[in-house]
Structure formats: structure tokens, C-alpha cells
Amino acid sequence: MTNTMLLSWATFLYFGAFVFYLFRLVFRKEFWGQGAFYTVIGGLGAHTLSMLLRWKESYALGFGHAPLSNFYESLIFFAWALILLYVIVEWRIKDRSLGVFVLPAAFLLLAFASLTPSISNRIQALVPALQSNWLTSHVVACFLGYAAFTVAFAIGIMYFLRNIPLFGFIPEGETLNELLYQHAVLGFVFLTLGIMTGSVWAHYAWGSYWSWDPKETWSLITWLIYAVMLHARYVRGWKGDRMAVLGVNYLPGLHSYLQS
């Protein structure tokens, strides 16, 4: 099982990157920040390779499906999307302070997926209901959305911590606000896409595009809360604390996913 070995490497590298980001804060040397970034890139490479290998292995086993079919694979993809998004953000805003908050999330996701005994890492055959490209698109869209919400969540936490002297490295409130909004929007668009592709799948697999089961309902609730927030921002210019709370609300959707 080379894919799990590569994944252990990715987990290890993400943890290393987190430590380097911490060093950067403690020693205030950009050297550590650069090291951390390259470590993240290395981890992402191993992570990507691991997913591709797993995909290939599933073909070798005769199942032939994208590595997005069960809880284990979803968590792996979630962590991957999170890191990918983080790399793009760091590269675009040229600010490394977010790393300390995002890297542990990815590391913990991978550790949770690998170490929890009840989560099987076997490549499994798909039952007929799950043999659908719409389902694959649904998982991709949803977890890209969750990744964006997780980054928004991290920014929300940074927003609340920014006035504590210990966290002097955090960028100013206005920048955080804008960044938080962008990620909330990105998550919202992906969530919308995820609900849509999920509906299409349900339409073809279960005979109804919407049947008000708890998972569907919670995704709608999450969607509605974000819709409220975006309208509130539009009319009242809600910013700061109230927008930062927004980051926390991605939890209901995720919670309902974990229930499954």
C-alpha cells in the first residue's frame, strides 16, 4: 500500500511545516517561513501523488473509481483541498501568518483519517447507487467548499485574536475582513454547486432531486445562513465581529456529513 505510505509522508511534512511556521513567529526570521512554504509544497506533492496512486490501485483491483467514494477518501480530499487553497492564498496575498492556523487543521484531518480504527482505508467496491459521476462532482464541490469555509474559519479566529499582543503578527482587520469575505463567498459558491450536483445525483439514483432528509436539510440550513450573512453585509455593511462569526457556521454542514 504505497498510497498510505505517501500519505504518512504528507502528514509528517504538514506537521513539519506547522512547526516551521511557529519558528517563524518565535524567531521572526523569514527563513523559517520560506522553509515552511516549501515543506507544504512537498507535502502537497506527496499528498497528490498518494491520491493518484490510490486511484490507479483501484483500477488494478478492478473497481476503477476516483478516490472520493467513502469517508476516509473524503477526509483525504478535504485536507488536500484545504492545503491547495492555502498555498494559493499564501502565494497571492504574500502573507504567511495564516499558515499557523490552517496547517494544524490539515494535519489533524489526515491523522484522524489514518488513525481512527472505525474509518477503513481499504479501497472498496462501489454499490450501484454510488456508481455515478454526479456523485464524484458532488463530493469534489462540497469539500472544496468546506476547505474554503475552513480557511474562512481560521481567518475568523485570527480576527478575534488580532488585538492580543502575543498575536501581533496578524494582519490588520481590514485585510482580514476582505479575505474572510472572499473565502466565505468561495465556500458559498462551491456549496451551491455541491448541493446542485448532489440533487442531480439524487434525481438519477433515488428518483427525487430533493427529499428533505437530514443531510440535505442541514446543507440547506448552512446555505441559508450564508445567504443571510451575505445580504446583511450588502445592506448594513456587516463587518468585523459579526462577519468573523460567519466562519464558525460552516460546522453544521460538516457535522451532518460526519453523522453519515
Which residues lie near another protein (CB under 8 A)? 63, 124-125, 127-129, 131-132, 178, 185, 188-189, 192-193, 196, 199, 201, 203-210, 212, 214, 217-218, 220-221, 224-225, 227-228, 231-232, 234-235
Closest CB 42 distance from another protein, rounded Å: 31
HSE toward the beta carbon, residue 105, CA cutoff 13 A? 25
Closest CB 75 distance from another protein, rounded Å: 21
> CA 176 to CA 89: how far, in whole Å?
12
Q: Are 42 and 6 in contact (CB under 8 A)?
A: no
Closest CB 198 distance from another protein, rounded Å: 11
Q: Residue 38: how many CB atoms within 10 A of its CB?
A: 12
> CA 180 to CA 183: how far, in whole Å?
5
Closest CB 44 distance from another protein, rounded Å: 25
> CA 168 to CA 170: how far, in whole Å?
5
Ramachandran angles phi, psi of 15, nearest 5°: -65, -45
Nearer to another protein, 49 or 196 (CB): 196
Nearer to another protein, 48 or 192 (CB): 192
Nearer to another protein, 60 or 234 (CB): 234
What one-letter code names the amino acid at 26? V
Q: Are 195 and 178 in contact (CB under 8 A)?
A: no
Give the CA dihedral 151, 141, 45, 170, nearest 10 degrees.
-10
> CA 237 to CA 179: how far, in whole Å?
15
Closest CB 135 distance from another protein, rounded Å: 8
Nearer to another protein, 52 or 224 (CB): 224
Closest CB 179 distance from another protein, rounded Å: 10
Nearer to another protein, 28 or 242 (CB): 242
Nearer to another protein, 117 or 236 (CB): 236
